[in-house]
């Protein structure tokens, strides 16, 4: 069954600019539409539509970083018929507008609005643990908490640590979160979309005064994981400067 899902993921990555339908993707996997939808979500963690959107936005990030195409032209090139829809989706997923992201890719500092999003000022919990890297790295590691198992937009809390090892986030807002740890893979030199090491936790619940321990291993993501879209302060600078 995974072979069929991988074929549909390959189809999304190769034909993202086309108006791919659920029927098209189910046919590429050679299974029924109902079974395909359920299996795709179980294997990748997202719906086919969310995966397709992530691939399109990731391609837009690369075009914004490496070309002088207008935002309108890029929106069409990655499969969006409406500039407004593209701009809204890009901003929701990345945490910056397309124009702001292009400025960052050209070397401007990441604006503070791309950091942790504003949340009610009330006591939270703390989360700590150890980050392990496979392969080993000595570069900074971003750790943030997101409200989805597929991180998007701005984290609820985050911090940049100098290298893998012990870490702690304090005053994490009350709620149910997923932890993301990310670093640039050793030897990554490409300007657009260099390789990242990623680690994701299961859902954790932050409560006032409560401490949680979560160990995370970061490694190259495999084919099942949709592109990471959120801007990661510190890590993103390494990516665009590489």
> Which CATH number does the domain housing residue 34 bear?
1.10.10.60
pLDDT number for residue 3: 87
CB 160 within 8 A of CB 180: no
pLDDT at 160: 93
- Residue finishing a domain among 50, 85, 105: 105
Q: Is residue 218 part of a domain?
A: yes
Residue 111 lies in a domain: no
Cβ-contact 104, 236 below 8 angstroms: yes
Residues 92 and 48 in one domain: yes
- Please tell me whether residues 57 and 167 are part of one structural domain: no
6 and 65 share one domain: yes
As a whole number of angstroms, the distance between CA 124 and CA 185 comes to 32
Of 28, 82, 80, 40, which is closest to residue 223 (Cα–Cα)? 40
pLDDT tens, position by position, 206-230: 999 899 999 999 999 999 999 999 9
pLDDT digits (tens, 9 = 90+) for 125-154: 999 999 999 888 888 999 999 998 888 888
How many domains does the structure of the chain reveal? Answer: 2
Claim to verify: residue 54 and residue 80 sit in the same structural domain: yes
Same domain, 123 and 99: no
18 and 45 assigned to the same domain: yes
pLDDT value at residue 116: 59
7: DSSP letter: H
pLDDT value of residue 213:
96
Which of 214, 216, 204, 211 lies closest to 124, judged by CA?
A: 211
The CATH number covering residue 171 comes to: 2.60.40.10
- Same domain assignment for residues 123 and 70: no
The gap from C-alpha 89 to its chain's centroid, in whole angstroms, comes to: 13
Of the candidates 188, 201, 178, 230, the residue with the CA atom closest to the CA atom of residue 131: 201
- Model pLDDT, residue 69: 97
- Two tokens at 42? 């179980």
Give pLDDT < 50 ranges for the chain.
Answer: 189-193, 238, 240-242
pLDDT of amino acid 242: 42
Contacts 24+ apart (CB under 8 A), 76-82: 77/17, 78/16, 78/17, 79/16, 79/17, 79/18, 79/19, 80/56
pTM, to two decimals = 0.84
Quote the pLDDT of residue 237: 54
Task: Check whether residue 99 and residue 123 sit in a common domain.
Answer: no
The share of the chain scoring above pLDDT 90, in percent, equals 67
* Residue 236, pLDDT score: 64
Domain boundary among 52, 71, 105: 105
Residue 158 in any domain: the answer is yes
User: Domain residues for 224?
Assistant: 117-241
Please indicate, yes or no, whether residues 121 and 228 belong to a single structural domain of this protein: yes
Among 105, 134, 154, residue at a domain's last position: 105
């Amino acid at each position: 069954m995974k072979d069929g899902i991988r074929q549909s993921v390959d189809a999304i990555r190769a034909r993202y600019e086309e108006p791919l339908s659920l029927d098209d993707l189910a046919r590429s996997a050679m299974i029924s539409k109902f079974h395909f939808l359920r299996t795709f979500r179980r294997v990748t963690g997202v719906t086919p539509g969310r995966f397709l959107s992530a691939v399109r936005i990731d391609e837009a990030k690369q075009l914004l970083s490496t070309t002088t195409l207008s935002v309108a032209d890029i929106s069409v090139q990655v499969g969006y018929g409406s500039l407004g829809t593209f701009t809204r989706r890009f901003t929701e997923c990345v945490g910056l507008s397309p124009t702001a992201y292009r400025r960052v890719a050209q070397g401007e500092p990441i604006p503070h609005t791309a950091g942790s999003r504003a949340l009610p000022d009330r006591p939270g919990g703390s989360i700590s643990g150890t980050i392990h890297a496979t392969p080993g790295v000595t570069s900074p590691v971003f750790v943030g908490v997101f409200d989805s198992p597929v991180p998007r937009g701005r984290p609820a809390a985050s911090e940049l640590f100098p290298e893998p090892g012990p870490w702690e986030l304090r005053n994490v807002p009350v709620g149910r979160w997923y932890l993301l740890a990310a670093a640039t893979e050793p030897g990554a030199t490409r300007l657009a979309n260099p390789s990242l090491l990623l680690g994701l936790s299961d859902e954790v619940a932050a409560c006032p005064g409560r401490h949680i321990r979560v160990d995370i291993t970061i490694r190259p993501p495999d084919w099942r994981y949709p592109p990471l879209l959120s801007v990661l302060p510190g890590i993103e600078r390494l990516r665009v400067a590489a």
